[in-house]
Amino acid sequence: MTEQKISEQSFVVTGMDCADCARSIEKGVGKLSGVQTCSINFTAGKLHVAGDVPRAIIVARVNELGYGVQADVENTKLAAQAPLPRAGLPGFIQFLLQRRDTTLALIGLIFILPGLLFHELLPVLGANNPLWNLTSMIALAVAGYPVVRSALRTLRINHEISINLLMTIAAIGAILIGAYTEAGLVMVLFAIGEALEGYTMQRTRDSIRSMVEIAPNEATVLRPCLDCQAHLGKEGYTGGPCPFCGIEEQRIAVTDLVVGDTIVVKPGERIAMDGRVLKGMSAVNQAPITGESIPVEKQPDAPIFAGSINGEGVLEIEVTKLAADNTVSRMIKMVEAAQERRAPVQRFVDQFAQYYTPAVVAIALLVALIPPLFFHAPFWNPDATTQGWLYRALALLVVACPCALVISTPVSLVSAIGNAARNGILFKGGMVLEALSKIKVFAFDKTGTLTAGNPSVIKVRSVNCLPEDLGCKNCDDLLALTSAVERRSEHPLARAVVRAADRRGVQGNYPAAQDVTALMGKGVSGQVNGRDILIGSHAYFDSNVPHQNNQCVEIDAASAQGYTSMLVSADQQYLGYITVADQVRESSQTALKALKAAGIETLVMLTGDNRATAQTIADAVGVTDIRADLLPENKVTAVNELLQQYQAVAMVGDGVNDAPALATATVGIAMGAGTAQALETADITLMGDDLRQLPFALQLSRAAMKVIRQNIAFAIGIKLIFLVIVLLGFGSLWMAVLADVGASLLVTLHGMRLLHWRGAQ
């Protein structure tokens, strides 16, 4: 019996203005029969449902709760179908006019103005008029309709007390005691405040959604002319590829491109697809993808990322990935998925709010009843100078609304994640952001992380070379002869020799070797112009080929520095040696110095190389601790030991060979310039393959957690202050809701600062 696959559906939900809205939808849809799991990403506006439930029923439930469904999310571009909102007051007004509920809030604002002006702000004018009570009630009815409807639906469907219900109770109570203007003000200010939260949250999403626009929707492709109308009938041509036109440029949608197509990118154009350069040379700006500030020279066979900006040359590029799988699409999917992985602090706040709201209703009820019942305090308002405890309880409901607390964390997290993504750093969730902020020690793989991972020739020394002889022809001849053999090998050291020969211009001095044979663990041999050429290790030559003592001393000194020496002979006659070493990344020393400045005192290198090689690299980059001669499983052991000692450890590696250690560490950080493996295996990916992104990521995570703590403290503090004011009888309903709206706006704007955070100055 085969296991039935669980159906999964995704939706773009509209009309959510706060995290409480998202929880109501998640709970309401989760109650449907057949739903196995239901989760909603408030910051991305996406609902994910798993289970055997017809789509129409899910949409109906979302609509029943008072929200809309925009489109099916089959690809990331659909998330940005709605136009991005403008900034400032014009943008907010435009946002209000986009939906009926928010438009009603704007209309309510207009109707409440007379009552606010003549009853609340300037009563000394003596312009009291029963008409103002009527306009206030109209404002209450218009702006409050969506709020009351949502409150009752949430109560009926989810059986829970929502923030909207708190406001509904407060407004009804204000009507009962004759405070009509305050009742209208409560509802209008709350509706405007909710819309303001939705607007600012949508502005926050721009950093993610605008990533969709990095890659163009169309590309110029080289394809044969099909069914050419100009040549139909000529020489028997009846359709299909036109034999007269040949290959021509065609402008098509990127979704119609297939792997293997050739696209043409002109100077200054954005590159539409991931691919490989076939023809042309140009400097390409990869900053939108990798965060690199300097354009990268591209030539044939070089990889290209979608979303990069071409320089001054024309490039022909072979498409290597479909539009849905290119680097931009993967980045967007990862960032949106990251928003769904909540940080521990966010989960705590969300869970706290679930119990907090019902508790507020119970406390307000006690505030309204206990003083009148047990202390003979006034329940109703006996005169204009004394507030009854019912009024204070209603004000308590308003001031205790947890909007600011609930919004304080997600807006900060999504802002930080969006900022990081724009700088070529991908976080896999808020929990990773929080975990990175607590890291005490960084462990680094050596090859491909601290070093470039591409060995280079350091020295070429012929046996007939004199130290003072610069540009020695004998050394050039030794390099040319060695490259004639090594060009037949795929070993990394062989490629280093071939590259060095090409740079010196001696690559063609000898024909490629014949009968090339790899000597396992010893070297390689071959015939060049009838001579038997042998390239081997120092140990092998010590046993098989006589060579000079002074060269032995030089080779031993090179080995002590961590270099690899390749000795060369022709017909058993020793010719000299070549030393090769992996080069330290230019960014490594700068990055590690910045980490130390950020307070990271322990920087550990984990490598499979010998101690001497590791020490050379460590001295160059500033590593404080070395663990050498490690197999992959030994790296895991080393990470576990660091975890026991420091509790929070980040491991930085290439994302593939170091996968076990990356998974073991508190935070796994992958180098990789956007490779699929790196994107999928690590908690954080440095798209630019540049360690200098690491200090920025660390400082951003710390800044984000600092902002979150400040937001939570402010949200709770402002509640406590106004709670005291209300209980002492000095507050009013409209001042309470204004304080709540103001607190929500302030924590949102404070969190949004992380979108443009650039690091400590």
Q: How far apart are CA 17 and CA 90, in angstroms?
A: 18
Q: Are 274 and 305 in contact (CB under 8 A)?
A: yes
CA–CA gap between residue 451 and residue 654 (Å, rounded): 11
Q: Which residues are CB-contacts of 53 (< 8 A; sequence separation ≥ 6)?
A: 7, 9, 32, 33, 34, 35
- Half-sphere CA count of 760, side-chain side, radius 13 A: 14
Distance CA 132, CA 243 (A): 81
Distance between CA atoms of residues 55 and 34, nearest Å: 12
3-class secondary-structure state, position 430: helix
The H or E element containing residue 296 is strand 296-298
Q: Where are the beta strands (DSSP E) in 529-653?
A: 531-536, 564-570, 573-584, 602-606, 625-627, 649-653
DSSP string, 360-378: HHHHHHHHHHHHHHHH---
Q: φ and ψ at 535, to 5 degrees? A: -125, 120
Which residues have a Cβ under 8 Å from the Cβ of 564 and sit 6 or more positions away? Answer: 455, 493, 579, 580, 581
Active site residue 683: no
Set 20, 445, 658, 690: catalytic member: 445
Q: Are 340 and 428 in contact (CB under 8 A)?
A: no
DSSP secondary structure code for residue 648 in this structure: -
Q: How far is it, in rounded angstroms, from Cα 147 to Cα 159?
A: 16
Residue 249, phi-psi category: left (phi > 0), alpha (psi -120 to 50), beta (remainder) = beta
Q: Computed from CA positions of residues 654, 660, 663, 665, in that sequence, does the dihedral angle turn out positive or negative?
A: negative
**Residue 170 CB: number of other CB atoms within 10 A?**
26
Q: Phi/psi at 466 (nearest 5 deg)?
A: -100, 140
| Closest by Cα among 366, 318, 346, 382 to 19 | 346
Terminal-to-terminal C-alpha distance of the chain: 64
Residues classed as catalytic:
445
